Amino acid sequence: MRVNGLHYKTIWMEGPVVHMIDQNKLPFEFGVHTCKDYQSTCKAIIDMTVRGAGAIGAAAGYAMAQAFMSGADPHTAMQLIMSARPTARDLFYAVEKVYAAGQVSVKLAEEVAFSVALENEEAGKAIGIIGNELLMDGFRILTHCNAGWLAFVDYGSALAPIYAAVASGKNLHVYADETRPRGQGARLTAWELSNELVPHTIIADNAGAMLMSKGMIDMVIVGADRIAANGDVANKIGTFEKAITAKYFNIPFYVAAPTSTIDLSISSGNDIIIEERSTDEMLWQTGIDKNGEKHTIRVANPGSNAWNPAFDLTPAELVKGIITEKGIFDYSNISAITNLNTIRS
């Protein structure tokens, strides 16, 4: 993905050092954060310097490789990395693979960490090509959170078909939900779409039904953090509401995700751990003033309590299809997903 004319990946490793675009600084400042050891890569996952299922998967794989490369106790490292964020399947997928490789050799651990990141990048590219087939010229697409290249190593999941469609000459318009409380839509999706010159409009999280009722949305595409064996989808809080609303208005609701996000060990979405984050994310907001000066201000009643679940569960029956790197799957055909994973492993 291009930033000021230069190609960047969201995260990469050189020697034992992990580099990542600092997503907490965007969109007001562009910077690359470096992590010299697995503990600092782990901290970057926790404080969301790197975020989005695919990107934290790559980060977790690199962190596990850093642990082997530094001679740290791999089991302690694995436990620390796996406790960084609970919901995204890709984090566990990457750590399990790199940990197993590290039992063979440090070199193999490093190689597998690179291959997990490459797999994520290639999946994003394929999701873009496959998902593009669903998009008609002139489509207006609603998306939630940021499931773009910042949430992956490159390309993204929900935004990948949009980038592929625009590159193939289709005119699209994207409506990006703000995605409170952290504002991944308003801050990150909007920044990405601006860089790629994709026409877009930021809307309030509660505006989706109004737009759909006016016939202003042709399709909803979101990403996923974990997909259970029955097809239930965990994704950013607010996704479920969009799926219900899309069903009401008979608008196709698609999930785009690599097969590494599918977790067959979990029979339904009820078994997915939903991360709860600090209520400070809701009660306080950081932004810039008209002079470009950064401020953090309280935006809620002083003294009131809050609750901040970061994800919700969308039942499989609300999802028209899941766009993966291996094709588009209908959730009524769960065995297809099973076969898919059998092939992958």
Catalytic residues: 225
For residues 341 and 231, give the distance between their C-alpha atoms in angstroms, rounded to a whole number. 13
Nearer to ligand MRU, 69 or 313 (CB): 313
Nearest CA to 324 out of 256, 234, 227 is that of: 256
Residue 301: both structure tokens together: 């009643």
Site track 54-73 with ligand MRU (rule: CB under 6 A), x = hit: x-------------------
129, 133, 134, 138 alpha-carbon torsion, rounded to 10°: 100
Residue closest to ligand MRU (Cβ): 223
Residue 160: both structure tokens together: 């990948």
What's the closest the beta carbon of residue 152 comes to ligand MRU, in angstroms? 6
For residues 131 and 158, give the distance between their C-alpha atoms in angstroms, rounded to a whole number. 9
Nearest CA to 314 out of 249, 264, 245, 263 is that of: 245
Please report, as residue ranges, which positions from 116 to 175 form the binding site for ligand MRU (by CB under 6 A).
Answer: 145, 147, 151-152, 157
Give the number of C-alpha atoms closer than 13 A to the C-alpha of residue 87, restricted to the C-beta side.
22
Nearer to ligand MRU, 101 or 234 (CB): 234
Residue 256: both structure tokens together: 């785009």
Distance of CA 87 to the CA centre of its chain: 11
Nearer to ligand MRU, 212 or 234 (CB): 234
- Choose, by CB under 6 A, the member of 53, 212, 217, 319 that binds ligand MRU: 53
- Choose, by CB under 6 A, the member of 224, 272, 313, 319 that binds ligand MRU: 224
Please report, as residue ranges, which positions from 234 to 253 form the binding site for ligand MRU (by CB under 6 A).
Answer: 235-236
Nearest CA to 109 out of 122, 95, 123, 119 is that of: 95
Nearer to ligand MRU, 109 or 243 (CB): 243
Span from 66-74, 165-173, 220-228, 314-322 in contact with ligand MRU (CB under 6 A)? 220-228
The DSSP 8-state label assigned to residue 182 in this structure reads: T
- Choose, by CB under 6 A, the member of 119, 154, 205, 225 that binds ligand MRU: 225
* Chain position carrying tokens 């090509």: 129
Please report, as residue ranges, which positions from 292 to 321 form the binding site for ligand MRU (by CB under 6 A).
Answer: 310
Which residues make beta-bridge pairs with 297? 285
Span from 50-58, 73-81, 206-214, 263-271 in contact with ligand MRU (CB under 6 A)? 50-58
What's the closest the beta carbon of residue 70 comes to ligand MRU, in angstroms? 26
Our finding on whether 223 is near ligand MRU (CB under 6 A) is yes
- Quick check: 76 and 115 in contact, CB under 8 A? no
Positions that interact with ligand MRU (CB under 6 A)? 51-54, 145, 147, 151-152, 157, 184, 223-225, 235-236, 310
